[in-house]
Chains A and B, each alone.
Chain A
Amino acid sequence: MKISVIITLKKDVLDPQGKVIHQTLDGMGFQDINEVRQGKYFEIDTKETDNEKAKAKVEEMCKKLLANLVIENYKIIDPK
């Protein structure tokens, strides 16, 4: 089963990379952007076949390694 996770920076954390991407897009002519925030995307292929159990395991991975909860939020995407 493949489970996806999206990690994003929390609202009040400065994202210098997102800012630079915003400025570059602006310079390229995409001038109607309010803000760009950069995040991370993970695809985890697990042997677990039970949907709920797999999601619980991935949540533990997020808390322990994939995200730093001081600055980041995680979102687990339901496997299809």
Chain B
Amino acid sequence: MKSSVITFPGSNCDRDMDVALKKFGFKNKMVWHADAELPKSDLVVLPGGFSYGDYLRCGSMASKSKIMQSVINFANSGGMVMGICNGFQILVETGLVPGVLLRNKYLEFICKNVFVKINDKKNKYFKNVDNEVLEFHIAHNEGNYFCTNDQLKEIEDHNQIAINYCDENGKIEDQFNPNGSLKNIAGIFNKEKNVLGMMPHPERMIDTSLSGEDGSLFFKNLINNLK
């Protein structure tokens, strides 16, 4: 399986993602934002970080970069595109997934482990994951998901919510919402579910000696689903 990780000026989780993808069997290529052509890929990842210093709105500049036109075409033809953290912010700015990510409700940069409940398993990202709840890491200032009522209705009608913030038992409540996100949304799909944007970082949970292993579960499962 071939993957590509796009590096924007200010990306800082691109190499972590590279390590994670390779660990679970992807042949990964790093792709520079100013390139026009996307290498042949089964999965494209927009990594976390602070592209363009988060100027204007997080992800807004990166969403207009040269490579993004190829990424958009790839996604529109059914290709798998995953945006993590700043990558999620870039995805919403391209319009590939609906909504926006606002400043966290209490204006804090949040850096901690959280639990997320998988809302939908009829997709290549979460199909066959045994667990209902995963422990991932979040680190962001703008992760407060918001969309209009019309968009929310459409998202719910098409079952586009991927994961919600919850407690370790999968209870989705306000008190387990770290950033004020609408409906505790931590990640959403496009309608076709080939594009996933999420705030949590699975690539930070792939090493037993450093962290939990729920990221390992996610990546092992992902590559099997793509085969």
Interface residues of A (CB under 8 A from B): 13-14, 16-17, 20, 65-66, 68, 70-71
Contacts and interface: CB of A to CB of B under 8 A. Distances in A.
B107 A65 contact: no
B8 to A, nearest CB: 16
A8 to B, nearest CB: 14
B63 to A, nearest CB: 9
Given A14-B180, A65-B60, A65-B64, A70 B105 contact: no
A68 B105 contact: no
Interface residues on B, range: 10 to 19
B60 A70 contact: no
25 contacts: A13-B102, A14-B102, A14-B144, A14-B146, A14-B180, A16-B102, A16-B104, A16-B105, A16-B106, A16-B107, A16-B180, A17-B103, A17-B107, A20-B107, A65-B60, A68-B57, A68-B60, A68-B93, A70-B99, A70-B100, A70-B146, A70-B148, A70-B151, A71-B100, A71-B102
Nearest to B108: A16
B56 interface: yes
Do most interface residues of chain B lie in helix, strand or loop, or is the interface mixed? loop
B147 interface: yes
A53 B57 CA distance: 27
Nearest to A19: B107
A71 B146 contact: yes
Nearest to B147: A70
A17 B103 CA distance: 8
A17 B142 CA distance: 12
Given A65-B64, A71-B100, A14 B107 contact: no
A16 B103 contact: yes
Contacts of B107: 16-17, 20
Nearest to B106: A16
Interface in B91-105: 93, 99-100, 102-105
Interface string B179-201: 01000000000000000000000
A75 to B, nearest CB: 17
Nearest to A20: B107
Contacts of A14: 102, 105, 144, 146, 180
Contacts of A13: 102, 146
A16 to B, nearest CB: 5
Contacts of B60: 65, 68
Contacts of A70: 99-100, 146-148, 151
Interface string B127-166: 0000000000000000010111001000000000000000
